[in-house]
Amino acid sequence: MKWIFSVLALALFSLVSGTPLERRAGPHDTANIGYATTNGGYAMHCTSKRNFYSFSHLFSTSGGSGGSVTTVSSLSALTSAVSGNAKKIVIISGTISGNAVVRVGSNTSVLGRSGATLNGVGLRVVDASNVIIRNVRISKVLASTGDAIGVQKASKVWIDHVDLSSDRSHDKDYYDGLLDITHGCTEVTVSYSRFRDHFKGSLVGHSDSNGSEDGKITVTYAYNVFSNINSRTPSFRFGKGHIYNNLFENNGDGINTRVGAQLLVENNVFSNCKKPLYSTDGGYAVARGNDFGGQANTAPAGNLHGVPYGYNLVGTGSVRGTVGSAGATLSF
């Protein structure tokens, strides 16, 4: 019984102090949510929850699970450790500062210890597969460097419990995007992450003329928080997106479905957002169970009524509590 009282005491401390309670995670964890659990988007048609979990394990993004483990605390060490395609787990300790892009190879898990921060340093997943990025804070990456996280021509990527931010005291082009997913990426999940204090949040799809490549995009956004973002929460061109149980607070533009994108938008909560869900140049959305905060959904109805994986929705009244652990709140 003692452990029950300890857990209750910790939960009470978190509630009173407002400090997110850290959750234990393992360095060998594999993706357990969204498109990152699928194999080309077609693997998860299962007849029972039990079969779903056993079947999804075969295809889930596993990163460097089972590979070597290296802890780094400098930019040079990080750059070296994440390169190449061998299985590897790279754990960031402390704060690493610079004005640089670090390219992450295939079969890699990039994990942050409690408090791990990249200041001015962006991560890139380009022409790579099977990558996990978790529990890292990335802040103030200059536009001359690029996005905080950029994913291009990649597949099987799980971005989980990250905290991405800059500021809005500079003009909108001083920084680039917080998370851009472009050039035909597939089987990508963004979960339990926090996007804040920025102009351009998250872009999916490279350009209006890139449909031949970006039409195959598949991305899940689940249990994330977007706060004080001017636009792109996210902006989604072409492809398919599943956006559910996210919290949007004090943003300008909301979810923008663009040029042929097909979105499934479920049980999200919007507060003080002028355009929670809208369309540009022929984007579409199926919207179910959302709390649009008194604003209107102006996106035309689409045809994405289901996704090829199992998932559990929480009601809109529980979303705020569910996403309380979003951001870099894990403990490895």
Query: Which amino acids are annotated catalytic?
Result: 232
**What value, to the nearest 5°, has the Cα angle with vertex 56 and ends 55 and 58?**
75
> Token pair of 83, please?
């390169």
Ranges of H-type helices in 139-294: 211-214
Q: How far is CA 127 from the centre of its chain?
A: 19
Q: Are 204 and 35 in contact (CB under 8 A)?
A: no
Whose CA is closest to 130, among 105, 111, 147? Answer: 105
Q: Are 232 and 255 in contact (CB under 8 A)?
A: no
CA distance 224 to 20: 14
Which residues lie across from 217 on neighbouring strands?
A: none
CA distance 226 to 86: 34
Which residues lie across from 258 on neighbouring strands?
A: 237, 280
CA distance 92 to 73: 6
CA distance 131 to 188: 10
Other CB atoms closer than 10 Å to residue 242's CB: what's the count? 23
End-to-end CA distance of the chain: 26
